[in-house]
Amino acid sequence: MPRVFILATSLAWLPSRLALADAVPPPPDDCPKGQVGTTSHGGPRCEPEAPTDCAPGYRGVVGGTCVLAACSSDKECDAGRRCLQVDACQVLRELHWTGWGWSAQRSFASGNLLGGPPAPAPEGSPPKAWVKLHICGQDGPCEPPAECRPMGLCYPPGAVGKTKAAVAMVAPPEEKLPDGVYSQSLIAPNPKGDAESLKNAGCRKGCSVSSTPERLQWFALPLLAGVALYGRRRRQRYG
């Protein structure tokens, strides 16, 4: 009887936790100097502050990295920067389904049992789009199969002509993206934008599919069902 009660309680608890998919705990308020509190369905944590000394065409993000400052208008740029047309090294790649959308990175989304399960990939072939790697000239050469193509970047006008970037003082061209693809998901995970970083941006050494919380909940459901079946058969056999 105690085992049956525990099993029933577990089965009742899991759906109720999954129903709270939008419940997000508050960020921590005791982070050490140089870090800020953030939160998500993956839980509260402290992360390095966004850098303030990024190179022209880049913006700092929480986590301590600089990424391409993609934009479509001046309204998206910080003070002292304009959305200008800049040649960026880009490569046409097949995108990966993360469970919540299309992305240049092959990765498992972080989360917990409150985060809800990922959605299945849409039917049909994955879309392709131009993934932005780095700024041509300013950050070095653009190696094939990548090529230099214009895009909008928040760039300080005072830096134009002082770097090796090809910058035009005009509004950037409008990029037509496949349905369900957003420009911010096409930014390479590091400034150098090497192809291997995109290929290996998912589960690294030491992690596994079952270690991610979303996979854990799908593992737990059939496991509990199997335990229930085993208990029922034991009761039928031994009365």
Residue with tokens 């392709």: 128
Q: How far apart are alpha carbons 148 and 115 in whole angstroms?
A: 39
Domain boundaries, given as residue ranges, for the chain? 2-25+80-238
In this predicted structure, what is the pLDDT of residue 106? 65
Q: How far apart are alpha carbons 195 and 17 in whole angstroms?
A: 39
pLDDT values of the chain reduced to their tens digit, one per residue, 239 residues: 555 444 444 444 444 444 445 567 888 888 999 899 888 767 888 999 999 999 999 999 998 999 999 999 999 999 999 999 999 999 999 998 888 788 887 654 444 444 457 788 888 899 999 999 999 999 999 999 999 999 999 999 999 999 999 999 998 988 888 888 888 888 887 655 444 443 333 323 332 333 333 333 333 333 334 444 445 555 555 55
Cis amide bond preceding 56, omega within 30: no
Residue with tokens 């000239």: 137
The reported pTM is 0.65
**Three-class DSSP category at 219:** helix
Residue with tokens 């959308």: 101
**Three-class DSSP category at 7:** helix
**Nearest-10 crossing angle of helices 213-238, 2-18:** 150
- Are 159 and 56 a contacting pair, CB within 8 Å? yes
